[in-house]
Structure 1
Amino acid sequence: MVSDNDFRIHSIDALEILDSRGNPTIRVMLVLDGGTGAVTSVPSGASTGQFEAHELRDGPQPDSAPSTQGHTRYGGRGVCRAVANVRDVIAPLLVGQDVRRQAAIDRIMLERDGTGNKAGLGANAILGVSMAVARAAAAAAGISLYASLGGSGARRLPVSMMNVLNGGLHAANGLEFQEFMIVPHGAPTFSEALRYGSETFHALRSLLHEQGHVTSVGDEGGFAPKLAGNETACALIVEAIERAGYRPGPDIAIALDPAASFFGHEGAYRLKVNGTPVTRTSDEMTALYAEWIDRYPIVSLEDGLAEDDWAGFAAQTAKLDGRLQIVGDDIFVTNPAFIERGIREKTANAVLIKLNQIGTVTETIAAVDAARRAGWSYIVSHRSGETEDTFIADFAVAMGGGQIKTGSLCRSERIAKYNRLLEIEHELGSEAEFISPFLHA
């Protein structure tokens, strides 16, 4: 019989590991008095909003190894300070706490941090522990993480946005737009949707080979060919969908993440058109997207404008709302206060949800709740620097939003999330739901 003591924290430890880009990140190991253990690993982004929670890095420190003296350890990206904060600061605070009290534990860490952006302890240190607390609570109760976080009603499998072509900060190939994704929303089940996506991914690989492109991949597993321009990527995806035997739109749609903060600032957006640099205004970018929506089965547009372009986002939403999902990522950074502002100003109609942008499980759920109250869509998302941790797969099912971004159909740190969702679908059996959020496509 499980007792209350079985849910109390016995120890917390951490270590420095590597993410999918070979950069350091943090892993947290938490053990309860009853012997249950939980391990979590924290991701890291490349395209980051300026108001994201602070990821604590060591900065320039000489490597102490005799053969490498004078070199900077991991180029300054080490996380030894964050690891030390878990071991020496957070662990003593939380030993003896009941992991079922997620909000209280997260609040203890935030109060100890004492900053608005978690710069004191580091969002990576805080989040690693917060996730471990949630995972340990589920394990000690003998239930899956998605059921622990979402309750008995958590049974909706998400439609995936699968990154098949990379550009921007995720690939050095000259494309300004960061992500071109396929969305197999017309499949009857999650497992079938995964098959639709995989077959289209391999059809795209064949097309690229035939056209003489290399098929190396970017940070999130999408191909990174040197194409003539951003629109060429959309045309290629449509051709790949058809080659795989599916209907562009009803079976598999397209989602875009231009990540416009990469090429835009203060309402000016610098792109290349047929090799010629062109500067567009916010309104001109929105007009361009409107033209593409007419030509291609695009159902979602994320960060089509820069993070500082609140007026442009509002104008874009006024023009395109009802035609597609307009998603804010860098502009909201999973921060409930920014999301509430966006709701008031009608800045978007959807929000991207990233645990490490805000830094605790409790605050991430609050961000989802804000979107729900407004009737907005929300998409649980990975980061470009990922690990094998599958927390977000369970989190997506727990939150019930019906959408997830977790990368392409290759690279094990991406596939791990898809495989976890297959496990959840199998566990739910006939209770599993798979409902397209894009019924108009």
Structure 2
Amino acid sequence: MPIKLINARQIFDSCGVPTVEVDMVTELGLFRVGVPSTDLKKLHEAVPLRDNDPQLYQGQGITKAITMINSIIAPELIKMGFEVTQQRDIDNFLLTLDATEDRSRLGANSILVVSLVVAKAASAKKGTPLYRHISDLAEVKYIMLPVPHFTILVGGILSSNNLPFQEYLVLPVGAPSYTEAMRIGTEFYIYVKNLIEGKFGIERTYVADNGGFTAPFEDHKEAMIFLNTAIRQCALQGKLMIGLNAAASFFYKDGAYDINFKNPNSNPQEYLSAEQLCEFYLDDMREFPLVSVEDPFDNEDWEAWSNITMRTTNQILASDLIQTNLQQVGLLLEKKAANSVTLRLSQCATLTEMLDIFRTLVNNRLGVVVMDRLGDTDDTFIADMVVGLGACQLKAGAPHHSERIGKYNQILRIEEELGPLAKYAGKNYRPGPEATQKKKK
């Protein structure tokens, strides 16, 4: 089933920034995918192609990327006559066509959107759901519904409050099913909204782009006590756990950590050493139901990462440290710097690259969290991807905003389709190596 037509267009992400969408036509019809925009290009990510014209969209236009797809990628790929089921061959061809190490000629966004729409068309050719097709590509031997990470409170650089860390999340690990996890998470989110209205006033229930509340908490301890109290008031002890996205690189200064960085007069004498910040997290784990900390240290502070990973069995999640880059994963494995890693499609250029990283993580017994992007779209590809990979965790923001809730809703549909075969990861959100040996159902 060769490709008949490929056409790219500009759409807008959830922040109103231009991004790329592609239609692909085969004999079975039209298939469409839109890719996330990138909120901030990080060092080890593949490079998206932007116009850099300050007169249009503050330089964030993507007409160059569209031209690359419609004028170069489309005719060259169609000319090759690939079957859409040849994912690795197609992805390798796209990378060869780009011929740069960082994917900057054609643009990671241009390459990725074509790679993903190929997978969608291939699932139709096989007559299988997208998540099943991804499972086949990844050679995964199990299907699992993920634990959602719901953003509840927002701080750090995402808010003007005094919270040092970017996200305060809850994980419904004690739910018996994905449907129940959604019920617990959404009810808790609404309960917290009402608490914030009562505590700070209705005008303080603003939400950030990821749906988390930007309430004016005075410090981290107050926010943690607030969340823990709310969990108890809802009788969800043991069912709902807390996660943090520290995003520590944003308050790393001169070899130390300034958790009071929003104060322009913060005292350098009060900055925390890596060891002191490690104890800070470990104390939280002892006092609160904190089970996951994302990006607890700066991206170059490898020793600190290795230290905390050695000292806790809770999840130490590497996101900005790795940036879905295979070389960075190799460094992490060498230094034993985390026990879980995030996968973000927009950080690499092809589905095949992401699958190769996934296999490396699973083979080395690391947990996997599939994650969305700040500038996401209403496309639900990652919902099928997280199920197909059996990755067991999905971080897609709060149960708020359609581009986020749409991904959670897609997994509800998959759960319904699986029926009695549906299995929710729950407390096994970081499965051991034996999970990869289970027979696929």
Quick check: TM above 0.5?
yes
In the alignment, what sits opposite 1:289?
281
In the TM superposition, residue 35 of structure 1 has moved relative to its aligned partner by 3.6
Aligned partner (choices 289, 300, 309) of residue 308 of structure 1: 300
Q: Secondary structure at the match of 2:368?
A: strand
Aligned partner (choices 44, 51, 72) of residue 44 of structure 2: 51
1: distance between equivalents of 2:164 and 2:336? 26
The 1:263–1:47 alpha-carbon spacing in structure 2 relative to 1, beyond 3 Å, is farther
In the alignment, what sits opposite 2:433?
none
In the alignment, what sits opposite 1:210?
198
In the alignment, what sits opposite 1:377?
367
Q: Secondary structure at the match of 1:108?
A: helix
Aligned partner (choices 52, 57, 82) of residue 97 of structure 1: 82
Corresponding letter in the other structure for 1:36: G
Say whether the 8 Å CA contact 2:18–2:37 is kept in structure 1: no
In the alignment, what sits opposite 2:435?
none
In the TM superposition, residue 390 of structure 1 has moved relative to its aligned partner by 0.4
Aligned partner (choices 352, 356, 360) of residue 366 of structure 1: 356
2: distance between equivalents of 1:173 and 1:274? 8
In the alignment, what sits opposite 1:69?
none
**CA deviations over 1:53-84 (Å, ceiling 9, x no partner):** 112111025xxxxxxxxxx1001111111111
In the alignment, what sits opposite 1:28?
22
The 1:266–1:200 alpha-carbon spacing in structure 2 relative to 1, beyond 3 Å, is same
Aligned partner (choices 70, 84, 106) of residue 87 of structure 1: 70
**CA deviations over 1:252-274 (Å, ceiling 9, x no partner):** 00111111122225632222199
- Aligned pairs for 1:375-414 within 5 A: 375-414=365-404
In the TM superposition, residue 48 of structure 1 has moved relative to its aligned partner by 5.0
Say whether the 8 Å CA contact 2:146–2:392 is kept in structure 1: yes
In the TM superposition, residue 225 of structure 1 has moved relative to its aligned partner by 1.2
1:179 aligns with 2:171: no
In the alignment, what sits opposite 1:65?
none
Say whether the 8 Å CA contact 2:176–2:426 is kept in structure 1: no
In the TM superposition, residue 438 of structure 1 has moved relative to its aligned partner by 5.2
Aligned partner (choices 217, 241, 247) of residue 227 of structure 1: 217
- Aligned pairs for 1:340-355 within 5 A: 340-355=330-345
Q: Secondary structure at the match of 1:410?
A: coil
2: distance between equivalents of 1:167 and 1:47? 17
In the TM superposition, residue 330 of structure 1 has moved relative to its aligned partner by 0.9
1:318 aligns with 2:301: no
Q: Secondary structure at the match of 1:433?
A: coil
**CA deviations over 1:321-351 (Å, ceiling 9, x no partner):** x2x0111111111112211221111011110
The 1:232–1:56 alpha-carbon spacing in structure 2 relative to 1, beyond 3 Å, is farther
Aligned partner (choices 60, 66, 77) of residue 77 of structure 1: 60
The 1:235–1:46 alpha-carbon spacing in structure 2 relative to 1, beyond 3 Å, is farther
1: distance between equivalents of 2:36 and 2:126? 26
> Percent identity over the alignment?
34
Corresponding letter in the other structure for 2:6: I
Say whether the 8 Å CA contact 2:143–2:389 is kept in structure 1: no
**CA deviations over 1:196-225 (Å, ceiling 9, x no partner):** 001110111111111115111111111111
How many corresponding residue pairs?
A: 419
2: distance between equivalents of 1:118 and 1:230? 40
Q: Secondary structure at the match of 1:334?
A: coil
Q: State the TM-score, normalized to the length of structure 2.
A: 0.91
1:39 aligns with 2:62: no
The 1:56–1:231 alpha-carbon spacing in structure 2 relative to 1, beyond 3 Å, is farther
1:150 aligns with 2:121: no
2: distance between equivalents of 1:274 and 1:265? 13
2: distance between equivalents of 1:309 and 1:48? 20
The 1:274–1:419 alpha-carbon spacing in structure 2 relative to 1, beyond 3 Å, is closer
Say whether the 8 Å CA contact 1:154–1:397 is kept in structure 2: no
2: distance between equivalents of 1:30 and 1:289? 47
Q: Secondary structure at the match of 1:308?
A: coil
Q: Secondary structure at the match of 2:164?
A: coil
Q: Secondary structure at the match of 1:280?
A: coil
**CA deviations over 1:180-201 (Å, ceiling 9, x no partner):** 1100010000000000001110
Say whether the 8 Å CA contact 2:84–2:122 is kept in structure 1: yes
Q: Which moved more, 1:164-173 or 1:289-298?
A: 164-173
Say whether the 8 Å CA contact 2:162–2:216 is kept in structure 1: yes
- Aligned pairs for 1:245-260 within 5 A: 245-247=235-237, 250-260=238-248
Q: Secondary structure at the match of 1:287?
A: helix
Say whether the 8 Å CA contact 2:209–2:374 is kept in structure 1: yes
Say whether the 8 Å CA contact 1:170–1:384 is kept in structure 2: no
Corresponding letter in the other structure for 1:43: P
In the TM superposition, residue 170 of structure 1 has moved relative to its aligned partner by 3.0
Q: Secondary structure at the match of 2:337?
A: coil
**CA deviations over 1:371-429 (Å, ceiling 9, x no partner):** 11111101111011111100000000011121110110111110000110000000000
Corresponding letter in the other structure for 1:130: S
In the TM superposition, residue 231 of structure 1 has moved relative to its aligned partner by 2.6
Aligned partner (choices 263, 272, 281) of residue 260 of structure 2: 272
Aligned partner (choices 126, 130, 152) of residue 164 of structure 1: 152
Say whether the 8 Å CA contact 1:171–1:219 is kept in structure 2: no
In the TM superposition, residue 51 of structure 1 has moved relative to its aligned partner by 1.2
In the TM superposition, residue 169 of structure 1 has moved relative to its aligned partner by 3.6
2: distance between equivalents of 1:328 and 1:129? 27
Aligned partner (choices 394, 398, 417) of residue 407 of structure 2: 417
In the alignment, what sits opposite 2:438?
none
